[in-house]
Homo-oligomer: A and B are copies of this chain.
Amino acid sequence: METKTDVESVIIKFAGDSGDGMQLAGSLFTSTTANIGNQLATFPDFPSEIRAPHGTVAGVSGFQIHFGTSGVYSPGDEPDVLIAMNPAALKANWTHLKPACTIIVDVDSFSPKAIAKAGFEGNPLEDDSLADYKVIEAPITSLTKSSIADLGLDNKSVVRCKNMFALGMVFWLYNEPLEQTINFFNKKFSSKPLIAEANITVMKTGHNFAETIEALPSSTTIAPAKKAPGTYRNMTGNQATAWGLLAAAKKANRDLFLGTYPITPATDILHELTKHKWSGVKIFQAEDEIAGICSAIGASFAGDLAVTTTSGPGMALKTEAIGLAIMTELPLVIVNVQRGGPSTGLPTKTEQSDLNQALFGRNGDSPLVVLSASTPSSCFEMAIEASRIAVEHMTPVILLTESYIANGSEPWKVKLIDELEEIHPNTADDLESWSPYSRDEKTLARKWVIPGTPGFEHRIGGLEKEDVTGNVSYLPENHANMIQLRDDKVAKVVDDIPLQRVKGEKANRLLVVGWGGQFGILFGAVSGLQKEGKDIAFTHFNYLHPLPKNTREVFSNHDRIVVCELNNGQFADHLQSQFPEFKFERYNKIQGLPFKIKELQKKFNELLEEK
């Protein structure tokens, strides 16, 4: 089963009782989205019975819209966002729910009676039948009521506005302007200004509500490759990260420890993992990000596979402690689900602007490993990679994902635990040959010792360590040597990661370079041009520091190289400082939005044609 949505399109379905005004909400959304130049296809879906009873599945009215910048050929199959105004609407779509999709429900409508009428046995919001979905429980009816309570409308007119609440939320999620709809109402109800005001107010209330609760947009991102045979399930990137960490702990034969503090858009990793206490995962919701990472460092010292998760501002708070993990050479996985910056910035929007912080944001010369995930499902693999490198090389590893893929979903080919490669923590065993800072010859990793083990008692800390013994040392030569050793240790990770691959010819007019969660879109843009016979190639980085061994080779023999990223050129700078012999051109987008295939192709065509 292959979904027919394109990477850049979204499917939304408004569903409610026939009286709930779903068709109006749908068509208002349609005209706004058409107006801002989107492709679209819609599918209004009325109840088949003329007078189906209120609150039953038969009485559900739906409006599905598929919109986007390209590739929209049909209304699509399953929605990315379902708005269910009552239990029946949820039930009616029950078999067409794409796991990991977002479901906005009007919780006010979930009375035991309504639930029964819809044909549910229990309340689907309370049992775990929606565990695979991102459910937003919004009290739509009551908020609608209270938002316009003072207009003095009759109850029927009030309740009739609630479709506008849903519409307001969806407008916020997809960054669409309200003006057109406001005008529509002002015009339509020019003689009934109160009704116009009511609809507009409710729409704004829905819009504000989504902003207030930092609701996150969903999308389907599809790995462009053909799917291999196997069992699949849809997953968001955050869920995949969580599951990947569970798998890594299992393969490394360690307990998983998560120390974290909530922050949008990373919190869902916590929400997901905390459901799985049965697996033995230890969760510490800390008082702040600093305690979050410090607890993880402590847990790592004590032998757990330790993880901390956050987003930009929280990352800033963790930097001092990351330095400690570097100095103490402890394994640690730091997941940063990037959002728009600087400062609080755009908490619900996507961006790739924390790369500099990941590479350089610490006092002193403080090297560590930086990875990124390229699609929702690759979060699973990269979470395992981050864990593997951390415990085998005894180093903190930063894994950068981004709101777009963390919240976006795609089918993931289920990996059973036996299909995954073992992870070999660099544990101390031989007391004779061991010192706190004695190193593995190949990786330069020091040994991991679990407190409680007799004979291996030792002390570590943030002051400069003496080589081998790990005692405090202020000696000049030792410091120089240790700086070098820490650098070399991270550099040697290169021997343990895959080579960089290129899609396309070895020598080209234009090499497109990407990293992180924009993979699908970049791939789509380049593939399209390649099919047109354009002289273009593509390489995408998941390993950002150290860079794969053959990186220099990959850059050779192209007339032009363009680095595409959702920031002001941070990866391009990073490459430029290491490979001065190539010229890295830049295509940066900093709008809190993912790339679009069209804009990329336009740019690439320009670069291909320019002399």
Residues of A within 8 A of B (CB): 175, 211, 311-313, 315-317, 319-320, 323-324, 326-328, 340-349, 351, 353-354, 356-357, 359-366, 461-464, 474-477, 479-480, 483, 486-487, 567-568, 570, 573-574, 576-578, 580-583, 589-593
Contact = CB atoms under 8 A, between A and B. Distances in A.
Q: Which of A328, A483, A583, A592 has the most chain B CB atoms inside 10 A of its CB?
A: A483
Nearest to A567: B365
A83 to B, nearest CB: 21
* Complex copy number for this chain: 2
3 interchain residue pairs of minimum CB distance: A341-B364, A312-B363, A342-B364
Contact of A342 (B311, B326, B568, B593): B326
A340 B464 contact: yes
Nearest to A483: B590
Given A341-B365, A342-B327, A356-B360, A476 B593 contact: yes
A357 B361 contact: yes
A460 to B, nearest CB: 11
B362 A361 contact: yes
Nearest to A461: B344
Contacts of A592: 474, 476, 479
Given A476-B591, A592-B479, A462 B343 contact: yes
A316 B362 contact: yes
A208 to B, nearest CB: 12
B320 A479 contact: no
A363 B316 contact: yes
Given A316-B362, A361-B362, A580-B583, 6 more contacts: A311-B363, A316-B363, A357-B363, A487-B568, A573-B577, A577-B577
Contact of A324 (B326, B343, B348, B580): B343
Contacts of A593: 476
B312 A316 contact: no
B346 A479 contact: yes
Contact of A591 (B315, B480, B590): B480
A364 B343 contact: yes
Contact of A353 (B357, B364, B581): B364
A580 to B, nearest CB: 4
Contacts of A345: 327, 363-364, 462-464
Contacts of A463: 343-347
A226 to B, nearest CB: 33
Nearest to A569: B365
Contacts of A319: 316-317, 319, 357, 361
A474 B576 contact: no
B316 A589 contact: no
B479 A344 contact: no
Contacts of A320: 313, 316-317, 343
